[in-house]
Amino acid sequence: KAGVTQTPRYLIKTRGQQVTLSCSPISGHRSVSWYQQTPGQGLQFLFEYFSETQRNKGNFPGRFSGRQFSNSRSEMNVSTLELGDSALYLCASSFGASTSTGELFFGEGSRLTVL
Amino acid sequence: GENVEQHPSTLSVQEGDSAVIKCTYSDSASNYFPWYKQELGKGPQLIIDIRSNVGEKKDQRIAVTLNKTAKHFSLHITETQPEDSAVYFCAAKVWGQNFVFGPGTRLSVLP
């Protein structure tokens, strides 16, 4: 069974640009959550999508957005990039909504560098 | 909202020794406490979890203990091996809400 796939794995952008990251969950999983990981800050929750609907959103500015498609694949977009957006963006899938206590399966992440 | 603290931030042990990582949480409604291991260049992977109706859980060399009264839980790794070197994250979860992760502990097992 294929794991969670994130693309691209690495990318470099400049301030003011926008970026779109993609996540394909494990087959059969309907929930996709996104996390930002920075040194010393751990994993900060961005948002969760379940059956194409955003269920929860973390404390991030509106520049961070996402969506989920009917095949459960998800994308997140960051507009008007800032230097502080440099981070590893992790996607996690679960069978049920992550608000239940199901296991999260993480992808390997997309490492974004903003210059 | 829930807040999770984790200590220490870095930990070095000799191969074969034990390692202990401690986390505290703030929301007494939290009822699920997983531990994730993140190896270099990889995403976090669940290694063990515990629910609030259980005080201790073991899986081979790893164990987790939970003290609901004190609102803290700990990861214990015995007979550490070089492949245990990684970053470990604890998390706490209230049913119906999202996971809240600790800031992580970088464990180094020295040969």
Q: Could you read off the pLDDT of A66-84 as tens digits, one per residue?
A: 999 999 999 999 999 999 9
Picking from A38, A43, A88 by the largest number of B CB atoms within 10 A of its own CB, the best residue to mutate is: A43
User: What is the structure's pLDDT at B30?
Assistant: 92
> Is B99–A45 a contact, with Cβ atoms under 8 angstroms apart?
yes
Would you say residue A15 has pLDDT above 80? yes
CA distance A89 to chain B (A): 10
User: What is the structure's pLDDT at A40?
Assistant: 72
Residue of chain A with shortest Cα separation from B40? A108
Picking from B30, B99, B100 by the largest number of A CB atoms within 10 A of its own CB, the best residue to mutate is: B99
pLDDT band at A99 (very low <50, low <70, confident <90, very high): low
- Structure confidence by residue, pLDDT tens digits, B11-49: 999 999 999 999 999 999 999 999 999 999 899 999 999
Give the least confident one: A32-36, A38-42, A63-67.
A38-42
User: What is the structure's pLDDT at A41?
Assistant: 78
Q: How many CA atoms lie within 13 Å of A114's alpha carbon, on the beta-carbon side? A: 17
> Is B36–A58 a contact, with Cβ atoms under 8 angstroms apart?
no
> Is A99–B34 a contact, with Cβ atoms under 8 angstroms apart?
no
B33 touching A (Cβ < 8 Å): no
B39 touching A (Cβ < 8 Å): no
Q: Mean pLDDT over residues A8-16, rounded? A: 97
C-beta contacts of A1-5 below 8 A and 24+ residues apart: A1/A26, A1/A27, A2/A26, A2/A27, A3/A105, A3/A107, A4/A91, A4/A92, A4/A93, A4/A105, A4/A106, A4/A107, A4/B43, A5/A107
Which residues on chain B are in Cβ contact (under 8 Å) with A107? 43
Give the least confident one: A38-42, B28-32, B50-54.
A38-42
CA distance A20 to chain B (A): 19
CA distance A3 to chain B (A): 11
How many CB pairs below 8 Å do chains A and B form together?
A: 56
Q: Whole-angstrom Cα distance, residue A67 to residue A48?
A: 9
